């Protein structure tokens, strides 16, 4: 696909003709909604108990503090991001008692994934507004009616998406990064240097541009574009972290470049950003191997620090587990596999440390890899930090598999909060998002049992079953394993669970047959 040079920074692209090279958001053909028929018979039959692993693997990607959509109004007006799900009625009598059966879900609509061209076509990214569910495909993003599943629009892209964020602005705009089509790819992976903003409700491309060309960066290199490593949105600003290359930010409405990496006498750069209700940066100064780190709450419009928290020299990397309340985690080790060993709650207005939570022997499941604001596992709200524990043996040695539980800590004192939410023998709990002061989580089933979406009360840690995924539904048994060996996105809102694929895989398709790009589950 030919693709013109990006517009000059600050040039609006949302008025008049759409950007050349992308084409308009294509209106749908007069088709029926996606069906919920099972895949062809060529797919290898697998039972729902085998799908326990799929959900387990899937939720480690979406499950941590990452799913944030600014709440819309209750009128259902278009363009507003979807509001948080509401809490259901009590379904059990305690944090670890056997729950009552929740309403059973069924597949409402779904779509098959396009035929994979390699073993790594990237299709991650999904978003919700009051009216639209949008999902990334191969070199495209498509919007579907939330009620019926009918296609509403399709937005072509010149290359594959390389980074997305689940965050969006109050008027339903999000930002993606995609490969530079002028640069060659290596095993299907390109150079991630182009970004674009689009409206989730309409599919309209607002603007697109290339990342800034670097001068001399923190790692001593230059004369190349900033390579995107993560995207964070807060207010009307989209900030892109590039690790040792520094960070840049754009106005989401106009595409105006707000700031870019700039070397100074102290050799300081932003490692990356966390977004949502606040914009937070981790800033690294000095030698990259022996840095001085700080965590700064920024003014989204200017990038100027509103407060600064000075990080102990014991840590090599710092991660933002929650932007508001501000909770950060430090890793003393090296590399993307280094584990968080200590957590701190911080007053975002003053930068003052409030409480310290130390971790005994990696007891809690936190996965931060190399990014600043996309850690998986922790959720914060209502003055507490909620953490899933790592897997451990069941209480009964006769039950196969492992289990875990949710615990909470007081962010003002760092002390453990009373109670816990047990998954139960052979079950596991995985976080999806906060719902006010409560936690929305997925509880996987024991062998031949029921999975469920649950709400964990933020005060008592008692569990309420919101929606069950039964093991005896023929369509579910065939849809859910389609997501089994991939790390998939999950969203839960207004009684519906949205499961989106992240990678297509040619080798697996040749063995198992076509799989699903997404499936939407609900009780009605």
Integer CA distances (angstroms), 193 to 82, 205, 373, in order = 29, 17, 19
Quick one: pLDDT at residue 15? Answer: 29
DSSP symbol at 277: S
Cβ neighbours of residue 293 closer than 8 Å, sequence gap 6 or more:
282, 283, 284, 285, 311, 315, 317, 318
Cβ atoms of residues 6 and 208 within 8 Å? yes
Cβ neighbours of residue 97 closer than 8 Å, sequence gap 6 or more:
none
Torsion, Cα of 25, 30, 35, 41 (10° steps): -100
Token digits of residue 221: 């290199």
Using the structure block, give the residue that is written with the tokens 């517009």: 7
Token digits of residue 320: 């933002």
Cβ atoms of residues 103 and 202 within 8 Å? no
First to last CA, the chain: 41
Give the integer Cα–Cα distance in Å for 480 and 497: 12
CA atoms within 13 A on the CB side of 443: 34
For domain 292-372, give the CATH number.
Answer: 2.40.10
Which residue(s) pair with 285 in the sheet? 292
Domain positions in the chain: 33-125+376-524, 292-372
Cβ atoms of residues 318 and 334 within 8 Å? no
Give the integer Cα–Cα distance in Å for 54 and 451: 12
Best CA proximity match to 453, nearest among 470, 437, 436: 470
Q: At 509, is the secondary structure helix, strand, or coil?
A: helix
Quick one: pLDDT at residue 82? Answer: 58
Token digits of residue 58: 């899937």
Give the integer Cα–Cα distance in Å for 179 and 192: 4
Token digits of residue 392: 């451990």
- pLDDT tens-place values along the chain, 524 residues long: 433 343 343 333 332 333 444 544 544 544 444 545 444 433 333 333 333 333 333 333 333 333 322 223 333 334 455 544 333 333 343 444 455 677 899 999 999 888 777 667 889 999 999 999 999 999 999 999 999 999 999 999 999 999 999 999 999 999 999 999 887 666 556 689 999 999 999 999 999 999 998 865 455 555 789 999 999 999 999 999 988 889 999 999 999 999 998 767 788 999 999 999 999 999 999 887 788 999 999 999 999 999 999 999 999 999 999 999 999 999 887 655 568 999 999 999 999 999 999 887 778 998 887 889 988 889 999 999 999 999 999 999 888 889 999 999 999 999 999 999 999 999 999 889 999 999 999 888 776 677 899 999 999 999 999 999 877 767 777 777 666 534 568 899 999 999 898 887 766 655 566 778 999 999 88
Cβ atoms of residues 136 and 126 within 8 Å? yes
Token digits of residue 364: 């809690």
Integer CA distances (angstroms), 433 to 123, 171, 373, 387, in order = 22, 21, 15, 12
Whole-prediction pTM: 0.82
Using the structure block, give the residue that is written with the tokens 């040749």: 510
Which residue(s) pair with 434 in the sheet? 439
Give the integer Cα–Cα distance in Å for 274 and 319: 9
Token digits of residue 395: 């209480």
Give the integer Cα–Cα distance in Å for 379 and 442: 14
Quick one: pLDDT at residue 194? Answer: 96
Cβ atoms of residues 123 and 503 within 8 Å? yes
Query: Residue 325: is the preceding peptide bond cis (ω within 30°)?
Result: yes
445 phi/psi in degrees, rounded to 5: -90, 160
Give the integer Cα–Cα distance in Å for 162 and 146: 25
């Amino acid at each position: 696909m030919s693709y013109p040079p990006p517009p000059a920074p600050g040039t609006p692209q949302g008025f008049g003709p759409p950007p050349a090279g992308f084409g308009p958001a294509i209106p749908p053909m007069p088709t029926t909604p996606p069906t919920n028929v099972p895949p062809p018979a060529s797919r290898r039959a697998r039972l729902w108990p085998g799908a326990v692993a799929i959900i387990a693997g899937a939720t480690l990607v979406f499950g941590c503090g990452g799913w944030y959509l600014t709440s819309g109004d209750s009128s259902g007006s278009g363009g507003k991001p979807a509001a948080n799900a509401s809490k259901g009625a009590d379904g059990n009598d305690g944090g670890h008692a056997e729950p009552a059966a929740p309403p059973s879900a069924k597949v409402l609509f779904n779509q098959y994934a396009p035929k994979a061209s390699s073993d790594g076509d990237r299709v991650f990214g999904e978003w919700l507004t009051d009216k639209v569910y949008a999902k990334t495909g191969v070199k495209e993003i498509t919007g579907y009616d939330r009620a019926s599943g009918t296609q509403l629009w399709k937005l072509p892209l010149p290359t594959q998406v390389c980074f997305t964020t689940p965050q969006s602005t109050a008027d339903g705009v999000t930002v993606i990064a995609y490969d530079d089509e002028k640069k060659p790819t290596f095993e299907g992976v390109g150079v991630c240097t182009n970004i674009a903003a689009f409206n989730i409700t309409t599919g309209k491309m607002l603007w697109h541009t290339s990342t800034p060309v670097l001068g001399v960066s923190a790692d001593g290199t230059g004369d190349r574009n900033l390579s995107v490593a993560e995207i964070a949105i807060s207010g009307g600003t989209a900030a892109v972290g590039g690790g040792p290359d520094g960070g840049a930010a754009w106005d989401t409405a106009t595409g105006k470049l707000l700031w870019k990496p700039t070397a100074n006498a102290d050799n300081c750069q932003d490692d990356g950003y966390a977004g949502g209700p606040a914009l937070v940066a981790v800033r690294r100064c000095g030698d990259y191997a022996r840095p001085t780190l700080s965590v700064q709450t920024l003014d989204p419009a200017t990038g100027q620090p509103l407060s600064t928290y000075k990080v102990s020299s014991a840590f090599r990397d710092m991660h933002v587990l929650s932007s508001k309340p501000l909770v950060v985690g430090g890793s003393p080790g090296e590399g993307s596999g280094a584990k968080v060993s200590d957590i701190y709650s911080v007053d975002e207005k003053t930068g003052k440390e409030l409480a310290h939570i130390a971790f005994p022997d990696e007891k809690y499941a936190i996965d931060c890899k190399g990014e600043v604001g996309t850690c998986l596992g922790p959720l914060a709200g209502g003055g507490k930090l909620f953490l899933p524990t790592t897997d451990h043996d069941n209480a009964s040695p006769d039950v196969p598999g492992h289990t875990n539980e949710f615990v909470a800590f007081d962010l003002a004192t760092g002390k453990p909060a009373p109670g816990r939410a047990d998954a139960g023998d052979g079950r596991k709990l995985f976080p999806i998002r906060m719902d006010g002061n409560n936690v929305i989580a997925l509880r996987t089933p024991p062998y031949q049992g029921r999975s469920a979406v649950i709400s964990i009360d933020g005060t008592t840690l008692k569990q309420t079953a919101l929606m069950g995924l039964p093991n005896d539904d023929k369509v579910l048994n065939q849809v859910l394993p389609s997501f089994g060996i991939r790390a998939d996105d999950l969203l839960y809102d207004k009684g519906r669970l949205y499961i989106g694929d992240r990678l297509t895989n040619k080798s697996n398709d040749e063995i198992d047959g076509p799989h699903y790009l997404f499936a939407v589950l609900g009780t009605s």
